[in-house]
Amino acid sequence: MFDTKIAIIVRDDLQTWQKLNVTAFLASGIAGANPDIIGQKYTDADQRDHLALSIQPVIVLTGAANVLTNIRNRANDRDVPTAVYIEEMFTTGHDDANRAVFSEHGASESNTVGVALRADKKIVDKITKGAKMHG
């Protein structure tokens, strides 16, 4: 049905609240970069409107620190845009601080806790090799 795949990969040693937080932030990055994936509003049986959701499914994967570093570097090597969350962003309180701390670290470091991407299905499968379905 879709030529592309959206994948969010979170590090497997995070606490549950961290996994959920990272997933939410990364999903917003994908939606912001791809407004065409947002469908129409939802209306319930009481005729109340609700916000639109993605028209495309999102898979959530997990992996160890080295798996996320590899995924981030594979995406970079293929020029696939990514949304990335690093450990140090847990200590900040707002977007400007997130960007500041992010700029101090490189892709080869082992501090990546989440990566999201949207690309051709086969490319996403190659990039995310080593990650497992989140369970």
CATH of the domain at 97: 3.40.1490.10
Q: How far apart are CA 116 and CA 82, in angstroms?
A: 6
| Digit-coded pLDDT (tens) for 82-118 | 999 999 999 998 999 999 999 999 998 999 999 999 9
Q: Where residue 33 falls among pLDDT bands split at 50, 70, 90?
A: very high
Q: How far apart are CA 80 and CA 85, in angstroms?
A: 16
Q: What are all long-range contacts of 105-109, with beta carbons under 8 Å and residues at least 24 apart?
A: 107/69, 107/72, 107/73, 107/76, 108/69, 108/73, 109/69
Domain span at residue 127 reads 4-133
User: In total, how many domains does the chain have?
Assistant: 1
Specify the pTM.
0.94
| Digit-coded pLDDT (tens) for 47-81 | 999 999 999 999 999 999 999 999 999 999 999 99
